[in-house]
Structure 1
Amino acid sequence: MKPAVERQVVLPWTQVVRISFNALRARLFRSLITTATLVLAGAFVAYTFAGYAILNGLWPHAPAELKEKILSSGYESFAGSFGSTPKDRWLIALSLLVCTVGIVNAQLMAVTERFREIGTLKCLGALDSFVIKLFVLEAAYQGLLGGALGSLLGVMVSTGTLFIKFGTGVLRHWPVGHLAWIVCWNTGLAMVLSFTGVLYPAWVAARMEPALALRTEQ
């Protein structure tokens, strides 16, 4: 009969955070690729919604000539308000789906590259939950950085594009509060995408047999 485990050492969250951060630094290039995927997806979403927010801020103060120019540029107003069209929503959904698939693929490759590392951790007593925490925290770093950068990039590009098209009124009536809200929720969306993309790879890593992982050649 196997003896019962009397005490189990659990690393504090600060140590888990440090280990996951060091793992990202050790695989900086692959981490940047995953982050870039989130940046591009976040920038596209932020660009779309920021453009409509800016137009809604400009529209009530625009003279008749400018309103005609806005409408002739292809923007559609519904009851004096601009918003996303079904085409926009389809494009956004497809971009987010592609982003998630890319994250899953990158994280699965990361699991393959880290067979021996994960096997060593588990041989030293790391629980499945510890391995999952590592991958989830790495996803949190990437989602936060990628989402924030992508959101800011999308807002800036949208502002610049509309400024070139419609002039200084875009800056005078720039909806700061609305755009700040777009940056915040879009960053949160990027983190959700990153978490979603890492769930299956994290489960694969956590279920790995230590002996098999250590026998794998790098």
Structure 2
Amino acid sequence: MDRPKGRIDRLITLSFAKSLQISFQSLRVRFFRSMITVSSLVLAVSFLAFVLVNLDVASGLLAHGGSDAAAALSAAGYDVDMEGGGVSMAAKERWIVFLSLLVCTVGIVNAQLMSVTERFSEIGVMKCLGALDSMILRLFLLEAAMQGLAGSLAGALLGSLFSLLAGAVRFGLVAWTDVSWLGVLGSVGLSTLAGCLLSLLGVLYPALMAAHMEPIKAIRAEH
């Protein structure tokens, strides 16, 4: 079928593998900028994992140590529920975790906004060549997902390791023998998932802004 005169097709599509390759290459080119996001994720997620694994260690001690363990945990600053047999983080720790994750999200948004600003011309050229809004959005989300996975996994592993070491120092090696390793694995997974979600949430607004930019305005913005 003949194409009507005056019509310009904008149908550039990329496979997922090609989009992943482009996103990875972009991260390599902007390595130090990417490290800002990754570093903030490592710090926030490591603290979250530290707190969660601490609770796993404390729960294991309480389950095997009875009233003596409960007294030791209470003295160490844990909120111990003897009736329910559970341990929870103190209100102060909850606020610290919340604030650290909030600061991390703000840092990601700021870093991604700077990244979008630096790439105005690149985005404009891609859109002039026919890149759809969804393709631009996908590239930014893939970059954020890779950064989130790397930073979150590293942070979760570091936080868990330090938490287990701290438990051994405070309560002895019994902290390792009584802990539920399945629970520790779950805490690592939860921390990693939280970090990835934070990374995607932080990039959402900058990615939408980049995807909806007018091509000519984007190219002129850097000149």
Report if TM-score (shorter chain) is over 0.5.
yes
Aligned pair count? 218
Confirm or deny that 1:36 pairs with 2:39: yes
Matched to 1:77, the amino acid is V
When the two chains are superposed, the root-mean-square deviation of aligned CA atoms in Å is 2.0
Aligned to 2:18: 15
2:213 paired with 1:208: yes
TM-superposed deviation, 1:56: 0.8
Q: 2:216, 2:160 → 1: CA distance?
A: 49
Does residue 115 of structure 1 match 2:130? no
Asked whether the 8 Å contact 1:66–1:166 carries over to 2, the reply is no
TM-score by length of 2: 0.90
In structure 2, runs of 5+ residues without a counterpart are: none
Match of 2:72 in 1: 69
Separation in 2, partners of 1:188, 1:162: 24
Residues 1:52 and 2:55 are matched in the alignment: yes
Whether the aligned pair in 1 keeps the contact of 2:156 and 2:188 (CA below 8 Å) is yes
Q: How does 1:168-207 map to 2 (within 5 A)?
A: 168-207=173-212
Give the alignment of 1:152-163 within 5 angstroms.
Answer: 152-163=157-168
Question: Could you say if the C-alpha distance between residues 31 and 74 of structure 1 is closer, same or farther in structure 2, counting changes exceeding 3 Å?
Answer: same
How much does 1:48 deviate?
0.8
Which residue pairs with 1:131 in the alignment? 136
Matches within 5 A, 1:140-159: 140-159=145-164
Offset, 1:63: 7.3
SS at 1:89's partner residue? helix
Separation in structure 1 between the aligned mates of residue 194 and residue 188 of structure 2, nearest angstrom: 10
For the residue of structure 1 that corresponds to 2:11, the secondary structure is coil
Identity across matched positions, percent: 44
> Runs of 5+ in structure 1 lacking a partner?
none
Q: 3-state DSSP class of the match of 2:213?
A: coil
Q: Contact 1:70 / 1:166 at 8 angstroms: preserved in 2?
A: no
In 2, the alpha carbon distance for the partners of 1:125 and 1:133 equals 15
- Tell me the SS of whatever aligns to 2:147: helix
Using the TM superposition, give the Cα deviation of residue 4 of structure 1 relative to its aligned residue in structure 2, in angstroms.
4.0
Q: How is 1:62-101 mapped onto 2 (pairs within 5 angstroms)?
A: 62=65, 67-79=70-82, 80-101=85-106
Give the aligned residue type for 2:108: I
Contact 1:111/1:201, CA 8 A, preserved across alignment: yes
> Displacement of 1:59 after TM fit?
2.1
Q: Contact 2:134 / 2:211 at 8 angstroms: preserved in 1?
A: yes
Give the drift of 1:215: 2.6
- Find the residue that maps to 1:192 and give its secondary structure: helix
| Aligned residues of 2:11 and 2:131 also touching (Cα < 8 A) | no
Residue 94 of structure 1: SS of its match in structure 2? helix
